[in-house]
Amino acid sequence: MFTSPKRLLRRRLIQAAAATFCTLGIAGAALALAQAPAWPAKPIRIVVGFAPGGTIDGQIDL
């Protein structure tokens, strides 16, 4: 099956555009992760509305 030169050019342009967008997306994600602050910076307090020593308290301690 013969493919016309216009179709080949169009296919290559679409592939190049997709590769460019993927590369930019990966680079943007890497920059976002590099700038992410260390979280959490302080201890987290979990407020549970049940008595201490119960099932819920035991699950949170894990």
What's the predicted TM-score (pTM) here?
A: 0.46
- The domain in which residue 52 lies consists of 5-61
User: If 0-12 CB within 10 Å is exposed, 13-18 middle and 19+ buried, where does residue 47 land?
Assistant: exposed
State the total domains in the chain. 1
Structure tokens at 56: 């819920």
pLDDT band of 44, cuts 50, 70, 90: confident
Express each pLDDT in 5-35 by its tens digit.
888 899 999 999 999 999 988 888 888 777 7
Q: What does the pLDDT average to over 53-62?
A: 67
